Amino acid sequence: MANTPSRRAVVTALGVVQILCWGTSFYFPAVFAGPIVADTGWSLGLVVGGVSTGLLVAGLISPKVGRLVEEHGGRPVLLASACLYAAGLAIVGLAPAVPYYLLGWAIVGLGMGSGLYDAVFAALGRLYGSEARGPITSLTLFGGFASTICWPLSAFMIEAVGWRSACLIYAGLHLVLAFPLHAFAMRAQPSKLPRAGDTLAARTDQVRPLPREGLILVTLALILTIAAGIGAIAIVHMMIFLQARGLDFAAAVALATVFGPAQVGARVVERVFGDRYHPLWTLATSGALMVAGLVVLTSGLLAPVIFIIPFGAGYGISWVARGTVPLALFGPARFPRLIGRLAFPSLIVQALSPSAGALLIERLGVDTTIGVLTALAAVNVVLIAVLWSLCRPQVAGR
């Protein structure tokens, strides 16, 4: 481990790549969709469906990615991610027809599954063991700036050279920026994590199997999946929700920019104070903030900014909890494999949620859709309480 860079250097390198990865996948259609539709004549649904295709692929491979990180470490997985992003975005930029466009996104999806938060959380857990909570939280601070940096950058490149060339430029950045940064961050790590049969010293870095562990894992997966689905719908359809509360489009866009800083602000608080409490407190706070924001939006009685701030903060730290809660509950030895399993349902739901949200808006209206999201957020709070009761001895021990 003598050749391993400092934690600050590792997190900074991985964080810069996360900005690029999120900006060229999940946040891609916000800026690119309009120009692609205008240039090609493809339907908006098909263009946005590229990202859904990528998320579906990412979800399908996430359990395998977790196993690969557990067995071989994060280096080969993250290096492959940079290459897959580059290949997929190049195909997207060169696509002459929709099938090629969707093929490109399927390849980007392989990069997403092996290079976004879940894979990097697993790599950090593999590298730092039970001390990975701080690096995981710090990493999410970088990811929170993906839209802030990549949306204006994408708009500038599209205006200057067109959307196809912009895709090719991003593909090149994954090769000349992401690949070497991943290689630097993961250049040295333990060859093998400690397991149950290892020495007593190695076993001190593990957590014993929990009573009712299967039920705990299922409950945690449900919580993370519901939170991811609510967030995906709210982010994609946020302009519609805000305009339904009386804002014009320009004001809605301006207000939506508060969402990113709200995420980052909450993550900063978690980074500063997180070591003083169990990560389940982070998960509980996330659920409470998300439901509080949606209740405000449902009532329509208060300024929409009062929705944006708590909801954005809650959604922001839900991603922190997604990495830190399973690490604390199940221990670092099993963390890479389990986080891959936990990511599977949430990524699938993230892929399907925007279309489901659009269908709800069309069939039931905006107000009813917001009410459904509020009810789901309330259910999540109940599930968090259930998880808390299942894990009470371990939380009390913290």
Convert the pLDDT of each residue in 15-42 to its tens digit: 999 999 999 998 888 788 889 989 999 9
Fold of 202-397: Growth Hormone; Chain: A; (1.20.1250)
- Same fold yes or no, 7-190 and 202-397: yes
Q: Which two tokens stand for residue 1?
A: 């481990």
**Cα-atom radius of gyration of the chain, to the nearest Å?**
20
Torsion of CA 188, 191, 195, 201, to 10 degrees: -60
The burial class, CB within 10 Å (0-12 / 13-18 / 19+), for 133 is buried
pLDDT at site 208: 59
Residue partners of 300: CB distance under 8 A and separation at least 6 = 245
Cα three-residue angle 353-91-87, rounded to 5 degrees: 90
pLDDT at site 200: 36
210 contacts 395 by C-beta, under 8 angstroms: no
Q: Write down the pTM of the prediction.
A: 0.82
* Strands (E) located in the chain: none
Interatomic CA distance for residues 379 and 373, integer angstroms: 10
pLDDT at site 394: 64
- DSSP per position, 83-108: HHHHHHHHHHHH-SSHHHHHHHHHHH
Share of the chain above pLDDT 70, in %: 90
For 177-202, what is each residue's pLDDT tens digit?
999 999 999 886 554 554 444 433 34
- CATH architecture of the domain 7-190 equals Up-down Bundle (1.20)
Interatomic CA distance for residues 18 and 141, integer angstroms: 10
| Domain ranges (residues) in the chain | 7-190, 202-397
pLDDT at site 302: 65
pLDDT at site 192: 53
pLDDT at site 210: 66
**Coarse DSSP helix, strand, coil percentages of the chain, rounded to the nearest 5 percent:** 85, 0, 15
Compute the half-sphere exposure of residue 224: CA atoms within 13 Å on the CB side of its CA.
27
